[in-house]
Amino acid sequence: MKLPICCCLLLLLAHATPGAALSFAPEEFQTSRKLACVLAQQSLGQLSEDEYGERTHTLLDGFDEVERDNILAQALGYYGGLVFTTSSSDNALVNLKLEDFLASSTCAGGYSKVTLRL
């Protein structure tokens, strides 16, 4: 049941922003990874509402509305892959996955080690 829902959401996103889903720039990709780190920190209670808002706005500053939507969608995809692949009743495992993600090279050092290889 999850797969059909994900497919529908992807089709909706592609329809809502024609061509944008196919043209994900490297800057948007890197920002989406950084934003996924911020989402993980927020979920673990490591950021206040003000800190979360400040980091999110700082990351998305300079992108237009369509780019911001793409970045947010991709960041939520990373985050969802970590959280929703685990039973929702096992909060300890979800937290462990989020902490492992934050300790990864993607988020280490204030999420500054994002690299792109094609």
Could you read off the pLDDT of 32-79 as tens digits, one per residue? 999 999 999 998 999 999 999 999 999 999 999 999 999 999 998 888
Question: Which carries the bigger pLDDT value, residue 92 or residue 14?
Answer: 92
pTM score over 0.85: no
- Burial of 55 by CB count in 10 Å (0-12 exposed, 13-18 middle, 19+ buried)? buried
**Residue 16 corresponds to which tokens in the numbers above?**
């809502």
pLDDT value at 13 more than 70: no
- Burial of 34 by CB count in 10 Å (0-12 exposed, 13-18 middle, 19+ buried)? buried
**pLDDT one-digit tens code per residue, 81-109:** 877 776 656 788 888 888 888 898 888 76
Distance CA 86, CA 84 (A): 5
pLDDT score, position 114: 45
Q: Which of 80, 94, 85 lies closest to 10, judged by CA? A: 80
